[in-house]
Copies of this chain bind each other. A is one copy, B any other.
Amino acid sequence: MRTISQTELKHGSMEQLHRLCETLREEIFRTVSACGGHLSSNLGTVELTVALHRVFDFPRDKLIFDVGHQCYTHKLLSERAPLFFTLRQEGGISGFPKREESPYDAYGTGHAGTSVSAALGIAKARDLRGEDYAVIALIGDGSFQNGLVYEALNSLKLLRTNVLIVLNDNGMSISPTEGGTQEILDALKESAAGESVRLLEQFGLTYRGIVNGNDLEALIPALEEAKEELRSGSVLLHVVTRKGQGYSFAENAPTETHGLSPAPKRGKEYSAVLGEELMRLAERDERIVAVTAAMTDSLGLRPFFEKFPARSFDVGICEEHASVLAASMAAAGMKPYYAIYSTFLQRAFDEVIHDVCGQDLPVTFCIDRAGITGHDGETHQGIFDLSYLSLIPNLTIAAPKDLGEFRSMLRMSADYAHPLAIRYPRYGEEGVIAPVEMGKFELLHSTISDIILCAVGERCLKIAQFAIKEAEKRGIQVSLANARFVKPLDLTFLTGRPENYIVTLEDNVLAGGFGDAVRRALVGSGKTIFSFGLRDAFIPHGEPQRLSVRYGLDPEEIVKLLEALHARG
């Protein structure tokens, strides 16, 4: 797509802007169809973003996205249109705002709830530096439930600075938004002069709304007024948009079209197995409940939620609260399963320590999208969990080799009375359902060799198997173990093996991961441990397999090491 000039945006006729919105919508649809990405949230905010660009002066003024699921129009309007076809591809345009990509991206995001805090920080810095520009946080109603937003609102008066919060209310996060906050927003919609407004005013915000966020004629003057008011105080502009606006399929199925995958599905999803097994377990055990933070569908829990509505809890984008809720339900006799993406569990890190493991409560964390997730980039890679979980006492960490073993682990978890984390990637292959003994590795391939590969999880086992085959072609025999428990380690296995060289594989950063644990456990044993994993870096968007090779899990490098060790004898 051609570059849209700021002059065109600023001085074009309304007629031209309408045509621009159509063009943008088409471009987003075409690109997302090819590259994957977030469709309905971006379609819903085309007019809103065009209006923001019309009224404000970017990059001088700063636009901060919450999460960033709505930033495509902004990218198309800020000199990146010609490159937009590279969206989410390695080396191409990121699907999220990114400071290093463009000065128009004032603040990087990917996780929810940061925008109001970030807007306040930037505005305060502006004041301290004696600069003059507007700072705008664009936040959806789903993110608005996150506790971090309230912490920021609580600071508004303290910080004595002015920001504009544009609340994009489409009644959905990824799933429809529920909860008290949404009721407050709904109350605002019903009576803009009502009591809810007072709440915002007590926080130090002037409330402006409701504006139809898909109507340029309403939006532009509303934003102009807000801009004017921003000189004397902070403003919340309540905009109502329709998720998926402009494409009937996306409008009617906003949950399904929230995120689209670029490539054909690669096998069955672990999430589907989670749903199936959890239902099976819940039928027999009334203590079982499922907890999620606004991700019911992507985590495979929809069937469970439909079958056991009373035992299903989607608490919105509130990862911390979900964790405490799980811990406390466990403290009162239930058996909670908290399903969450690896990257988002970082938000509940303290609660995993303080509430769940500190009290040794039987909460099972089902950690999806572990390892490199790919096209969403830095903020969505699940590459830290083995490390940040391994340091926590009382926690058992498991990683299945395939869907069958995942089933077995879930079944095993039913009787386990302590904290348990099971981490797995998105896609997997079927496999045998055989009993898994807690804390025991599995020997997958045994040969007469001085080298054994110990790999964590399905992806690394595949890499290991490939490397072993390659090595065999060169006359090198190597044994292989499925290191299905990262904590506790199977010390009996590790110390009892005859091989002198242990090579570990994990799709996690090396610092504090599986390899480190094995080396620590085997100090003084005389064995030498080499580790493959991801190097110390934030991994950008791209094709997962390629990123994996590029960032440290290169089968060729593994084969080279095997050759060198073999030569050493």
Please state if A154 and B148 are interface contacts (CB–CB under 8 Å).
no
Interface residues of A in 309-336 (CB under 8 A from B): 310-311, 313-316, 318, 320-321, 324-329, 331-334
Tell me, yes or no, whether A33 is within 8 Å of chain B by CB.
Answer: no
Which residues of A136-158 are within 8 A (CB) of B? 145-158
Q: Given A196-B199, A391-B384, A523-B529 in contact, is the A119-B359 Cβ separation under 8 Å?
A: no
| Chain B residues whose CB sits within 8 angstroms of the CB of A567 once the complex forms | none
A466 contacts partner chain B, Cβ-Cβ < 8 Å: no
A324 to B147, CA, bound (A): 13
Bound state CA distance, A187 and B201, in angstroms? 12
Do A346 and B346 form a contact, CB below 8 Å, given A122-B328, A158-B315, A196-B202?
no
In this assembly, does A125 line the interface, its C-beta being within 8 Å of a C-beta of chain B? Answer: yes
Tell which of B353, B517, B530 touches A511, judged by Cβ atoms closer than 8 Å: B517
Q: Which of these, B114, B155, B393, B528, contacts A355 with CB under 8 Å?
A: B114
If A114-B354, A316-B154 touch, whether A390 touches B325 (CB-CB below 8 Å) is no
Stretch at the interface among A103-111, A433-441, A451-459: A103-111
Docked Cα-Cα span, A159 to B107, in Å, equals 35
Asked if A520 lies at the interface with its beta carbon under 8 angstroms from chain B, I say yes
Q: Give CA–CA (A218, B536) in the complex, Å.
A: 60
Residue-wise interface mask of A (272-301) relative to B, using a CB-CB cutoff of 8 A (1 in contact, 0 not): 000000000000001001000000000000
Contacts of A286 in B (CB 8 A): 128
Q: How far, in angstroms, from A183 to B124 measured CA to CA in the complex?
A: 21
Could you list some 5 contacts between A and B, CB below 8 A? A117-B328, A150-B150, A155-B316, A346-B353, A349-B349
Q: Could you tell me the distance between the alpha carbons of A202 and B186 in the complex, rounded to whole angstroms? A: 10
Interchain CB contact under 8 A, B196 and A180? no
Give CA–CA (A513, B512) in the complex, Å. Answer: 7
Residue of B121, B326, B510 touching A332 (CB-CB under 8 A): B121
The answer, among B159, B347, B390, for a CB contact under 8 Å with A313, is B159
A184 close to B (CB within 8 Å): yes
The verdict on A524 contacting B519 (CB below 8 Å), with A128-B289, A181-B154, A390-B512 known, is no
> Would you call A198 an interface residue if the criterion is a C-beta within 8 Å of the partner chain's C-beta atoms?
yes
Most B Cβ at <10 Å: residue of A113, A329, A391, A515: A391
Check: A387 CB closer than 8 A to any chain B CB. Answer: yes
Contact code string A182-225 (vs B, CB < 8 Å = 1, else 0): 01100100000001101100111000000000000000000000
Find A311's partner among B128, B195, B325 (CB 8 Å cutoff). Answer: B128
Bound-state CA distance A202–B331 (Å) is 28
Copies held by the complex: 2
CB proximity of A505 to chain B, nearest CB, Å = 14
Specify which of B122, B350, B524 is in contact with A329 (CB 8 Å cutoff).
Answer: B122
- A500 beta carbon closer than 8 Å to chain B: no
Tell whether A351 is near chain B: CB-to-CB under 8 Å.
Answer: yes
Q: Does the CB pair A158–B179 fall under 8 Å?
A: yes
**Chain A residues engaging chain B, CB cutoff 8 angstroms:** 62, 64, 99, 106-111, 113-114, 117-122, 124-126, 128-129, 145-159, 178-181, 183-184, 187, 195-196, 198-199, 202-204, 286, 289, 310-311, 313-316, 318, 320-321, 324-329, 331-334, 346-347, 349-351, 353-355, 357-359, 378-379, 384, 387-388, 390-394, 509-513, 515-517, 519-520, 523-524, 528-531, 536-538
- Chain B residues, Cβ within 8 Å of A349: 346-347, 349-350, 388
Chain B residues, CB < 8 A from A388:
349, 387-388, 391
Specify the chain B residue showing the minimal Cβ separation from A324: B117
B511 in contact with A390 (CB, 8 Å): yes
User: Assuming A107-B331, A146-B147, A350-B347, is B196 touching A179 (CB within 8 A)?
Assistant: no
Q: Complex formed: what's the CA distance from A117 to B329 in Å? A: 10
Contacts of A391 in B (CB 8 A): 384, 387-388, 509, 511-513
Q: Within the assembled complex, what's the spacing in Å between the Cα atoms of A152 and B316?
A: 10
Contacts of A511 in B (CB 8 A): 390-391, 512, 516-517, 520
> Interface SS of chain A: helix, strand, loop or mixed?
helix
CB–CB A537/B393 < 8 A: yes
| Given A147-B151, A354-B379, A520-B519 contact (CB < 8 Å) | yes
Residues of B within 8 A of A158 (CB): 178-180, 313-315
- In this complex, the member of A113, A333, A379, A511 whose beta carbon has the largest number of chain B beta carbons within 10 angstroms is A511
Closest residue of chain B to A205 (Cβ to Cβ) is B180
A121: shortest Cβ distance to chain B, in Å? 3
Choose from B145, B195, B346, B520 the contact partner of A516 (Cβ within 8 Å).
B520
Instruction: Please name all residues of chain B whose beta carbon is closer than 8 Å to the beta carbon of A353 when the two chains form the complex.
Output: 346, 384
Quick one: which of B118, B187, B537 contacts A324, CB cutoff 8 A?
Answer: B118
Give every chain B residue within 8 A of A315 (Cβ-Cβ): 151, 154-155, 158
Q: Which residues of B contact A198 (CB under 8 A)?
A: 195-196, 198-199
The 8 Å CB contact of A125, one of B156, B334, B350, B392, is B334
Which B residues touch A126, using CB under 8 A? 332
Contacts of A517 in B (CB 8 A): 511, 516
